[in-house]
């Protein structure tokens, strides 16, 4: 198949390109590089020893998108393009609604015109808000605590409405838990601009000497050691989940909403300990106040992904730390 990958130059996009190409698919990348670089796609070409078609463009630009569909025979779309910084979304909500929500509406309109109705969408565990119970099952109530999360919720609802209006649409809404790590080659990985918002890239930057120490946000949560618990998932496992979802929607009608997580939660201190063991580096840290908007614990019940997609996350925390550290060491200043 030929798959259009919006946001394909980004962290999860590049890892998914590798798995798509290794499974024999053709890919077309559409990205405006607002949070990435074409160099990342060149690394994908290096891993796969194949050229990738890259188109620089914005998902809000209807004409540019239409051009993609008229000049390529696209079978399905994996839609990663979006802004994802929670703090920025609070400061600039309209930017997030325009880019993420409007951009997705434009993409779907152009897809419909082109007769392409197979779509895999990057949603997030953030749509569960602060869950009442754990592990998190897909039919739990959803709620968002910030504009970024609301864009994911609104897009999910918009895509469900779209499918109700035209049942030829087949859509997978993939709710990612916390992707970390990197491709084992060390050629692609997470490349945050500026100070990392997320735990894992902050740890690797402390380990490489780019930052002095880690602030652990809160030591008084209702968790075994008081620090926040999350379901970290190896980005290659996550990428493979997209392949399974793609195959599934080719022969299943409707909208499939599914968690992609391991089912296992780890605390911040457990993450630090495992990273120290794997890397042989010490991570200096201090416990500080909670980060506003954070929750105590979040981890998936991944059974539906196993039943519906035949997908299970294979990698453990050590492999995630090993591969993420390998990427950071090989690329101390990113791409």
Residues interacting with ligand NAD, by CB under 6 A? 6-7, 9-13, 31-36, 58-60, 80-84, 99, 103, 122, 124, 176, 178-179
The reply on whether position 233 binds ligand UD1 by CB under 6 A is: no
The reply on whether position 291 binds ligand UD1 by CB under 6 A is: yes
Residue from 60, 83, 119, 216 in contact with ligand UD1 (CB under 6 A): 216
Extract the tokens encoding 307.
């039943």
Return d(Cα 329, Cα 283) in angstroms, integer: 15
CB-based contact 16:242 (threshold 8 Å): yes
Partner from ligand NAD, ligand UD1, none contacting 80, C-beta within 5 to 8 A by type = ligand NAD
The reply on whether position 268 binds ligand UD1 by CB under 6 A is: yes
Minimum CB separation of residue 183 from ligand NAD in Å reads 13
State the CB neighbour count (10 A cutoff) for residue 78.
Answer: 29
Whether omega for the bond prior to residue 18 falls within 30 degrees of 0, making it cis, is no
What would the x/- binding string for ligand UD1 be over residues 13 to 52, using CB under 6 A?
Answer: ----------------------------------------
Residue from 270, 294, 308, 319 in contact with ligand UD1 (CB under 6 A): 294
Q: Which residue is associated with the tokens 């996550």?
A: 238
Q: Which residues are catalytic?
A: 148
Residue from 124, 163, 204, 264 in contact with ligand UD1 (CB under 6 A): 124
Partner from ligand UD1, ligand NAD, none contacting 81, C-beta within 5 to 8 A by type = ligand NAD
The dihedral built from the CA positions of residue 50, 40, 85 and 273, taken in this order, carries a sign that is positive
CB-based contact 308:262 (threshold 8 Å): no
Return d(Cα 329, Cα 274) in angstroms, integer: 17
Return d(Cα 332, Cα 227) in angstroms, integer: 28
Minimum CB separation of residue 280 from ligand NAD in Å reads 26
Q: How many whole angstroms from its chain centre is CA 46?
A: 22
Q: How far is CA 221 from CA 133, 145, 181, 228, 317, in A?
A: 15, 18, 25, 7, 22
Partner from ligand NAD, ligand UD1, none contacting 11, C-beta within 5 to 8 A by type = ligand NAD
Q: Contact residues for ligand UD1 (CB under 6 A)?
A: 86, 124, 126, 148-149, 178, 197-199, 202, 214-217, 228, 230, 268, 291, 293-294
């Amino acid at each position: 198949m030929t798959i259009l990958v919006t946001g394909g130059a980004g962290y999860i996009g590049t890892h998914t390109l590798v798995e798509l190409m290794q499974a024999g698919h053709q890919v077309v990348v559409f990205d405006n590089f607002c949070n990435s670089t074409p160099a990342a796609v060149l690394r994908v070409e290096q891993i796969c020893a194949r050229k990738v078609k890259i188109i620089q463009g914005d998902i809000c630009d209807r004409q540019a998108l239409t051009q993609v569909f008229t000049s390529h025979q696209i079978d399905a779309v994996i839609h990663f393009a979006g802004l994802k910084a929670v703090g920025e979304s609070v400061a600039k909500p309209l930017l997030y609604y325009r880019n993420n929500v409007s951009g997705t509406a434009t993409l779907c309109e152009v897809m419909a015109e082109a007769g392409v109705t197979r779509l895999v969408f990057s949603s997030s565990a953030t749509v569960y808000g602060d869950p009442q119970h754990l592990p998190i099952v897909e039919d739990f109530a959803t709620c968002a605590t910030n504009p970024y999360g609301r864009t994911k919720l609104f897009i999910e609802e918009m895509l469900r409405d779209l499918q109700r209006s035209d049942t030829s649409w087949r859509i997978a809404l993939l709710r990612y838990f916390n992707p970390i790590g990197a491709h084992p080659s060390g050629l692609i990985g997470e490349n945050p601009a500026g100070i990392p918002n997320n735990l894992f890239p902050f740890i690797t930057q402390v380990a490489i000497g780019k930052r002095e120490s880690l602030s652990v946000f809160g030591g008084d949560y209702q968790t075994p050691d008081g620090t926040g618990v999350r379901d970290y998932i190896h980005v290659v496992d996550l990428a493979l989940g997209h392949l399974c979802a793609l195959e599934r929607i080719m022969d299943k009608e409707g909208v499939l909403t599914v968690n992609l997580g391991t089912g296992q939660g780890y605390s911040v201190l457990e993450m630090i300990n495992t990273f120290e063991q794997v890397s042989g580096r010490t991570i200096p840290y201090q416990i500080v106040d909670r980060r506003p908007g954070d929750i105590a614990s979040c981890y998936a019940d991944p059974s539906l992904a196993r039943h519906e997609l035949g997908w299970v996350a294979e990698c453990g925390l050590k492999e995630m730390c090993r591969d993420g550290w390998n990427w950071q060491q090989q690329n101390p200043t990113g791409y």
